[in-house]
Chains A and B, each alone.
Chain A
Amino acid sequence: MLLVYNHKRMTFVTHILLTNLGVKALKLQGQDIVLAYVFGVLIDLDHFIKLPQYIKKNHITVVKHYNWRSSLQEPISLLWIIPLCFYLSSWVPAIFFLGHLFLDYCLSYAKKPFFPLSDYTTLGFLHRIIKNDKVTEGLFIIVLICLNLILV
């Protein structure tokens, strides 16, 4: 399957809105709030792992839609997140990681959910229903803002 990388990524804003909603809805406190933001938002910092690779190929040129994604943002990471949940005696990491995954898999760029165990590639849930990722993200932002306001 040809890997398509010229589609939009889910932005930080959407991830922050969903995480904030989850924190309020679940009435999290203390360490759980930190875990929620780490696994719901900051997991996107895995992009920096490929920075040396990007600079080697593209130098300091800005190239849109480079494949910054790593296995830390894929379902395969549940293999280490679930044991971590047992260690921490909290399901917050898994719940908010799944929330992050859900948003990413609503967009239509190529993802390898089970790499390195499998090279299976998918374009996510909605690519046959909504062709434009900007529309998808726009809808999510509106819904999440409304839900966040309701829960204030």
Chain B
Amino acid sequence: MVTPNLISGTSLVFGLIAGPLILFHRLGLGLVFVSISLVLDGLDGPMARHFSYDLKKGETLDTIIDRTLEIVTFLSLVVGGYADYMIVVLSIVAILLMTSLRKKTGFDPGFKRIVLFFGYLTNFYLAFTIIFWANILGFIVNLLILDIRDQRKLDSCTP
């Protein structure tokens, strides 16, 4: 029986296969596997909601899988010589920062593996710059959302 976890697991497998393909300079084929992984990643959530599976556990698993695949794919691009290590490391840091607050606010700007296709067409430095800025700004927006919520609580307590 096909379950959301099975779809997530399959997405993980396709994403992990992309890593070595990119490493061994089969960039186009690697990105095909990334795209299959992304499509599957987009299916597990709606399926879980439709069949009323435990969404909280599923979201945590989904986040772990997504972050793992991003790190594997991004580092493969560095080792394969397609991207500069500094901007990739900064992008990973930005994504992890944004993720740390995403659960509290529900806000996620996206702009992660999907931007790699833009990088394939233009250049990966630009793609990772976009990923870095989108996720750093996402972290800042999440900070401000939480500040505003905290202020609302304070305002409701004070005369």
Least Cβ distance of A119 to chain B in Å? 9
- CA A129 – CA B154 in complex, angstroms? 28
Least Cβ distance of B152 to chain A in Å? 7
Given contacts A53-B152, A72-B140, A86-B90, contact A79 B147 (CB under 8 A): no
B33 at the interface (CB under 8 A from A): no
Contact check, B146 vs A115: say whether CB atoms are below 8 A apart: yes
Contact check, B155 vs A79: say whether CB atoms are below 8 A apart: no
Contact check, B136 vs A86: say whether CB atoms are below 8 A apart: no
The B contact surface, by secondary structure, is helix
Contact check, A71 vs B147: say whether CB atoms are below 8 A apart: yes
B124 at the interface (CB under 8 A from A): no
Contact check, A76 vs B143: say whether CB atoms are below 8 A apart: yes
Least Cβ distance of B49 to chain A in Å? 27
Contact check, B148 vs A116: say whether CB atoms are below 8 A apart: no
Least Cβ distance of B149 to chain A in Å? 9
Please encode chain B, from 130 to 153, with 1 for each CB lying within 8 Å of some chain A CB and 0 for all others. Answer: 001000100110011011101110
A148 at the interface (CB under 8 A from B): no
A-B contacts counted at CB < 8 A amount to: 55
Binds A, one of B39-47, B93-101, B107-115: B93-101
Within 62-91 of B, Cβ neighbours of A (below 8 Å) are at 86-87, 90
Contact check, B151 vs A53: say whether CB atoms are below 8 A apart: yes
CB nearest neighbor in B for A53: B151
Interface size bracket, B side? 20 to 34
Contact check, A83 vs B136: say whether CB atoms are below 8 A apart: yes
B26 at the interface (CB under 8 A from A): no
Contact check, A71 vs B154: say whether CB atoms are below 8 A apart: no
Within 21-67 of A, Cβ neighbours of B (below 8 Å) are at 49-50, 53, 56-57, 67
Contact check, B148 vs A79: say whether CB atoms are below 8 A apart: no
Task: Return chain A residues, CB-CB under 8 Å to B104.
Answer: 116
Contact check, B155 vs A53: say whether CB atoms are below 8 A apart: yes
A84 at the interface (CB under 8 A from B): yes
Contact check, B136 vs A70: say whether CB atoms are below 8 A apart: no
Q: Give 6 new A-B contacts, CB below 8 A, not counting A72-B143, A87-B90.
A: A49-B148, A53-B148, A70-B147, A79-B139, A116-B101, A116-B146
Contact check, A49 vs B90: say whether CB atoms are below 8 A apart: no
In this complex, which of B139, B148, B151 has the most chain A Cβ atoms within 10 angstroms of its Cβ? B151
- CA A87 – CA B132 in complex, angstroms? 9
Given contacts A80-B97, A84-B136, A86-B86, contact A71 B143 (CB under 8 A): yes
